[in-house]
Chains A and B, each alone.
Chain A
Amino acid sequence: MGERQSDGGLSGRGSRHALIDSDVEALIIASLIRDGVDAEAEQRAVAAFRAARDAAPRRARTRRRDDWRPRQRCYLGRSLRTTLSVLLASLTLGGVAVAAIGVAGSSDEGTKDAPERSPAPSSAPRDPAPKPPRGSHSPGTGAGPSPAHPDRPDAARDTEAHCGAYERAGGRGNALEGTAWQRLVAAAGGERNVTAYCAERREEPNAGRGGSGNEDPAANDGAPDANDGPGNGPGSGTAEGPDGGAGRNGGEGKRSQPDGRPNGRHD
């Protein structure tokens, strides 16, 4: 920049009609800034400093115009506020979730409570009549954060479907989807028993359903399946009674959870 200025800085080059900004800046600096300071003026300033220092014990209050901290003033305040808001919001949401869990857990007293607790209309089509779901594998997912798959067939249907697929595949287990195969194997009690198990199921399908641990044959009409839950049995720990009751309660809680959540706030 210095070079540019020294050869282009107006030193007799009339052909030049425009300078770039850095030339101009250099010229301005050259014209307005004298390096070095006047010693006398400096002494006056220092004397003023001394006088001010000695006269006023430091009780000077920082006014807004004296605060030149680099933007942290605003940002700090703002970010603090933001952080607090986010924290508050998460606490609130967490509270809602906990409250919803509480509602789900306490609604196990009886499904008759459901209408007054959850008047949300959206619950009606999906769950016209609360039904005890099967709880063959995991007793309850009432507190489970993951929503159930409402359209997933129940365990017995699964088993039947898996059997069908297994037989269609000519008895080769790997034709089945991994999870399905493993469930089938688990239900049959071993890989070798799968064929026999499926044959048995075909003969008496209702009994086979009972074999999955469910006493209620009327419930296999597409109600949410309980064994998709992550096995958080403690969530349904508020449920009382035997295993069947726990499963039922868990299922109930699970189904009422999406709709019961906002209502839980008002309770």
Chain B
Amino acid sequence: MGQGTEPRRGQAYDGELGAAVARAQQGDEAAFAVAYRFVQPGLLGYLRGLVGDDAEDVASDAWLEIARDLGRFRGDGAGFRGWTATIARHRALDHLRRQRVRPRPSALEQDVLELPGPQSTHDQALEALSTEHALELVRGLPPDQAEAVLLRVVVGLDGPAAARVLGKRPGAVRTAAHRGLKRLAGQLGAEKSVTDEAPRTLGEST
């Protein structure tokens, strides 16, 4: 799965990403696709943490806006990840707002539980189970902690950028991320069984 080899997801590519974004802003379609491939996995991961299985739809909406407003963007690769995360977040919050108005069917919650594991060998099945658990735990964190952890770890933003996405002070976001990680560490270490816990999305907790 290639996980865990990068301390901060995405930062290793920021140089290339920045160059691709600059070319895309000149109208280079292929460069835009390159930027998309750099950014989309982290963005989708962030959105999974926010909206669960609706992440793909929300990401599509976000990319429409990203493509439309690309000419306005100013910044480098890291800045682009922050900018796109902000857009994705707004789309996700819109999505959650709509859901609150129109309660979704409960079947969707079951879907969240049944995120497909990537492989099915024995070790990886265990790992997949654990990662599924991790997803639930992340989404069970207090919203500020969950988002801070997601932006820092999954999108790979640094503290100030994550704070800007969230519209909060860097210190508050740093604290939230730290607490979230500690809490996850405790839970991941202590618990082994997950299946009887109902998942909770950020939308429901906000």
Contact = CB atoms under 8 A, between A and B. Distances in A.
Q: Do A and B bind each other?
A: yes
A48 B9 CA distance: 26
Contacts of B44: 33-34, 37
B79 to A, nearest CB: 3
Given A5-B4, A19-B185, A48-B64, A28 B130 contact: no
A41 B60 contact: yes
B69 A26 contact: no
Interface string A214-249: 000000000000000000000000000000000000
Interface stretch (A58-66, A110-118, A149-157): A58-66
B147 interface: no
B155 to A, nearest CB: 10
Interface in B49-105: 49, 56, 59-60, 63-64, 66-76, 78-80, 82-83, 86
Nearest to A21: B181
B20 to A, nearest CB: 12
Contacts of B71: 52, 56, 58, 60
Interface in B1-60: 1-7, 9, 24, 27, 29, 32-33, 36-37, 40-42, 44-46, 48-49, 56, 59-60
A20 B184 CA distance: 10
A48 B40 contact: no
A52 B40 CA distance: 19
Given A9-B130, A42-B40, A32 B49 contact: yes
A19 B73 CA distance: 39
Given A9-B131, A29-B153, A69-B75, 14 more contacts: A6-B123, A26-B4, A31-B131, A33-B44, A33-B45, A37-B40, A37-B44, A44-B64, A49-B24, A52-B71, A56-B71, A68-B78, A68-B79, A70-B78
Nearest to B71: A60
B190 interface: yes
A10 B75 CA distance: 39
A64 to B, nearest CB: 10
Interface of A: 1-2, 4-6, 9-12, 14, 16-38, 41-42, 44-46, 48-53, 56, 58, 60-63, 65-71
Contacts, number: 204
B132 A31 contact: yes
A2 to B, nearest CB: 4
A67 B80 CA distance: 9
B166 interface: no
Of listed B24, B29, B188, residue having the most chain A CB within 10 A: B188
A68 B74 contact: yes
Given A41-B59, A46-B33, A68-B83, A5 B3 contact: yes
